[in-house]
Amino acid sequence: MFDRLSRSWHLVKASWAVLKQDQQLLLFPVISAFAALLVMASFALPMLGLGAFDGISEGDGAATSTATYVVAFLFYVSLYFVIFFFNAALAGAAMIRFDGGAPTVRDGLRVASSKFWNILGYAIIAATVGMVLRAIQERVGFVGRIIVGLLGMGWTVATYLVAPILVSRDVGPIDAVKESAGVLKKTWGENVVGQVGMSTVFALIQFLIIALGIALVIAAAATGSATVIGLAVFLAVAGVILAALVQAALGGIYSVALYRFATQGAASAGFDSNTLQTAFAPKR
């Protein structure tokens, strides 16, 4: 366990070295978050009006149920498209950096725009899977929900490399999903060190930020100043958000480096070859 955490920490530091070279890569998860909020806001009223959030699990009638599923499906497609579009833009920019270039935000958006229809196709696939899993989860018992949750986790792992595959190759979304699953199965087996390890590291970071934030707010409250308390709360929230944005950016950079190493057999710029070779060691 400690070996895995240590290895993951080295990967985080290597990803951080790349991110420091192109700090503007942080803008992609920022834009993605704002775009996702706009999508959710634009669907909020029609979905609430149709009872979409309850209709999926209850289905009070054929007509209402059909409208509910249609609106909910469009919501899922729109949300997945926005999120994956900017993930692809981040992957495209990271690819340029790993090829020795100096990418800009415009470069990443240009790469993602050139894959517009493939990204939309993947969004439809992901939305369909999400809808099916949610529908099943709402109709089964506790054990069934655990099984569905594991299936959802398996889908997330299997599609982890879809973004770098789509932006670097001329393949459709279905082939990208197949290749992503195939590459992970071939090179990583069942030991998904990077994803689990990086999530663990950032969970610890978030815990420390929250703990320090609470301590800061308590100390500010002791002053009795509303301004100081407000500033303390702002700093705590900003710290949590910043950590989440860094994690998203590092995850995108890591997925690109992982894919390049798996397909080219060489480490990308900023990554230690021995560290990545260890991450790809087959499980024994």
CA pair distance 245, 278, nearest whole angstrom:
27
- CB atoms inside a 10 Å sphere around CB 203: 11
Q: Strand ranges (DSSP E) for 136-179? A: none
CA pair distance 145, 147, nearest whole angstrom:
5
For the chain, the first-to-last Cα distance in angstroms comes to 15
CA pair distance 79, 66, nearest whole angstrom:
20
> How confident is the model over 94-107, as pLDDT tens digits?
888 887 788 889 99
- CB atoms inside a 10 Å sphere around CB 105: 16
pTM for the structure as a whole: 0.77
The answer for residues whose C-beta is within 8 angstroms of residue 137's C-beta and 6 or more apart is 144, 145, 148, 149
Q: What are phi and psi of 154, to 5 degrees?
A: -65, -40
> How confident is the model over 233-282, as pLDDT tens digits?
888 888 888 888 888 888 888 888 778 877 776 556 556 566 555 554 44
Angle, helices 105-114/116-137, rounded to nearest 10 degrees: 80
Helix (H, G, I), strand (E, B) or coil at 103: coil
For 216, the token pair is: 């800061």
Q: Is the pLDDT of residue 114 over 50?
A: yes
For 6, the token pair is: 């240590």
More confidently predicted of 52 and 91: 91
The structural domains of the chain, with segments of one domain joined by +, span: 22-189
CA pair distance 9, 253, nearest whole angstrom:
15
Instruction: Tell me what pLDDT residue 45 has.
Output: 67
Sign of the alpha-carbon torsion through 116, 118, 119, 123 = positive
Give the gyration radius of the chain's Cα atoms.
21
- Mean pLDDT, the chain, as a whole number? 78
More confidently predicted of 69 and 107: 107
